[in-house]
Structure 1
């Protein structure tokens, strides 16, 4: 195999960074319930397999997100290990995640921490990397009923408290990060 030129290595590094930023933007869009931003992350003909929530066109999944997320008091996606393989204008990724969910119910709600992976296929079209296929794989779940989340804990006294949607304090703090944008 012929060694890659420095230019090829730099191009690959830039592609890897763009895909990593795409993955992180997904987490932000999911946690902030930013469906406009979420739509910008997938190609129009992309597929999303989120198990019983949705399996088919990604745009259909995004259309259902307000309903799916309505019961979520807190969503918190954390990416850990990212394994990427690039091949020109297409790539594949196995992305490890920890996703915390505080679900509303009649009482204190309940928590579900999920350890899993995304199996991703990406394509660069018009110079922009987006998801062409994303599938969630659950490796484990850690439930807690009732919820163990306590926003009134003394460690949080005086802290800004994150929220799904446009009321999240990040929108008032940042001037460069905009709701609905990558």
Structure 2
């Protein structure tokens, strides 16, 4: 077993941080329906397997996102455990998520909270880490019909309310975290 030099350890740490930021950028792009940003997170030849929504080219999946997300009043992806393994300019990751979906369906809609994982493959090309393959795995789902979300609850009075797209309060608040960028 060879011991890594401090420089090698730092390079590995920087690569893992870049991949972690990629994972977080994906969640933000999904939740804000930011398809420009989403497209920038995948290599052009990447694969995405999102079950019945899309399997195949990641770019084709992203092309379908406006239609897929049209029925989503709220998307909220939360990353918990991240396991990464690096091998030069390639890496693999198992990323645990909790993803909340409030789906528009009639007057009340319904909710689905999913506990799952992303199985990821990443590649660093031209110094930038991006997804080369992403597959979603569902471990459990907790549905609620009708929706239990109450944005008009008194506890939220006066609070900024998140929204998909550029009407989200984050776009007016931030100057460094810009739409369409990592």
Same topology, TM > 0.5: yes
Q: Hey, what's the Cα distance between the residues in 2 that align with 1:91 and 1:176?
A: 28
Q: Hey, what's the Cα distance between the residues in 2 that align with 1:18 and 1:44?
A: 19
**1:52-131 correspondence to structure 2 within 5 Å:** 52-131=52-131
Q: Hey, what's the Cα distance between the residues in 2 that align with 1:100 and 1:145?
A: 14
Q: Hey, what's the Cα distance between the residues in 1 that align with 2:128 and 2:170?
A: 26
Residue 137 in 1 paired to residue 140 in 2? Answer: no
Quote the offset at 1:107 in angstroms: 1.7
1:56-108 CA distance string (max 9 Å, x none): 00000000000000000000000000000000000000000000000001121
Count of residues paired in the alignment: 182
- Aligned equivalent of 1:162: 162
- Secondary structure of the corresponding residue to residue 39 of structure 1: helix
Q: Hey, what's the Cα distance between the residues in 2 that align with 1:138 and 1:105?
A: 22
Quote the offset at 1:155 in angstroms: 1.3
- Aligned equivalent of 1:2: 2
- Aligned equivalent of 1:153: 153
- Aligned equivalent of 2:47: 47
Structure 2 residue runs without a partner (length 5+): none
Structure 1 residue runs without a partner (length 5+): none
Q: Hey, what's the Cα distance between the residues in 1 that align with 2:135 and 2:180?
A: 23
- Aligned equivalent of 2:174: 174
- Aligned equivalent of 1:36: 36
Q: Aligned Cα RMSD in Å?
A: 0.3
